[in-house]
Structure 1
Amino acid sequence: MSVIHIVRDYPHPPEKVWRAVTDPELIPLWTATGAGARPAGFATTVGTKFKFIANPKPGWSGVVLCEVLEVREPSLLRYSWQDESGGEVTEVAYRLTPHGSGTRFTYDHTGFTGAGGYFMAKILGTIRTKMLTKGLPAVLNDLDDQGNLRPQSPLDPKRP
């Protein structure tokens, strides 16, 4: 079985990182460095079914069906992940732990099987690494202490 396992340390408290990775308005800002996914219907409540909607690509609608499986705020979010067209159901987990004066963020995406799963994990792994290395730090750096985007943030989609 193939997996995606990424660990990043951020110089921000777990509550701030949690907000960035679970607030439906902030998620598209850091996923923009990948496929630009936005969550539709997402809430950090176990049993919530939601969709990630990204820019379609040849052979892919851009829609992923998900269900929240486990939540322990601000340390764990686990949800299922399945392409809208079907296929295997995989699982994503975000784990946040205090680390020094910041947060260690561990991203795991598991359940990929066979040759197709191996290649999917490789493709998604590259995209997720970019999102967690470039996209998420940019969002975290532009959040104030309350977890809101700073007024002059270039990431603010409402900014002219």
Structure 2
Amino acid sequence: MSAIHIVQDYPHPTEQVWRALTDPSLIPLWTATGAGARPVGFDTAVGTGFQFIAKPMPGWDGIVNCVMLEAAEPTLLRFSWTDSGGGAETEVVFRLESTATGTRLTFEHTGFTGTGGFFMAKLLGHVRRKMLRVGLSAVLADLDDHGRLRADSTLTAKP
């Protein structure tokens, strides 16, 4: 079984990182460095079904179906992840912990099986690293002390 495992430190409070990960208006800004997914129906209530919608590509309609499995603000977010075209259900986990200098985020995406799963984990791993290191860092840098995007922010979501 293949998996994606990324650990990233941010010089921002855990509550601010949590907000960037869970605010539907902020998510498309940090995913813009990847496929530009926007959440539809996203909520941290356990059992909530939601989708991530991105620009379709050859062989993919751009839709991922998810169900919130667990959420403990501001430290844990866990949801299922299934391509709308079928395939195995995988699981995404964001773990946040406070550090002396800010927040450590541990991202895991597990459940990839077989040869296809191995290659999908490699492809998605590259995209996720960019989204978390570049995209999320940029969003966090543009949030004010209340966790809102600054009025002078130049960040935009992909169309």
Paired with 2:2 and 2:117, the residues of 1 have a C-alpha distance of 7
Matches within 5 A, 1:4-153: 4-153=4-153
Paired with 1:35 and 1:156, the residues of 2 have a C-alpha distance of 13
Residue 15 (structure 1) shift: 0.1
What letter corresponds to residue 145 of structure 1 in structure 2? Answer: D
What letter corresponds to residue 88 of structure 1 in structure 2? Answer: A
Residue 32 (structure 1) shift: 0.1
What letter corresponds to residue 93 of structure 1 in structure 2? Answer: V
Paired with 1:156 and 1:80, the residues of 2 have a C-alpha distance of 27
Paired with 1:101 and 1:4, the residues of 2 have a C-alpha distance of 25
Check the 8 A contact 1:149/1:156 in 2, yes or no: no
Paired with 2:34 and 2:151, the residues of 1 have a C-alpha distance of 24
Check the 8 A contact 1:81/1:90 in 2, yes or no: yes
The CA RMSD measured in Å over matched residues stands at: 0.8
Unpaired stretches in structure 1, ≥5 consecutive residues: none
What letter corresponds to residue 104 of structure 2 in structure 1? Answer: R
What letter corresponds to residue 27 of structure 1 in structure 2? Answer: I
Counterpart of 1:154? 154
Unpaired stretches in structure 2, ≥5 consecutive residues: none
Paired with 1:84 and 1:125, the residues of 2 have a C-alpha distance of 19
Paired with 1:101 and 1:124, the residues of 2 have a C-alpha distance of 28
**TM-score, with length taken from structure 2:** 0.97
Check the 8 A contact 1:70/1:78 in 2, yes or no: yes
Instruction: Provide the identity percentage.
Output: 66
Map Cα deviations across residues 70-99 of structure 1 (whole Å, 9 max, x no partner). 000000000000000111000000000001
| Structure 1: 4+ residue segments shifted above 6 A | none
What secondary structure does 2:155 align onto? Answer: coil
What secondary structure does 2:71 align onto? Answer: strand
Residue 100 (structure 1) shift: 1.3
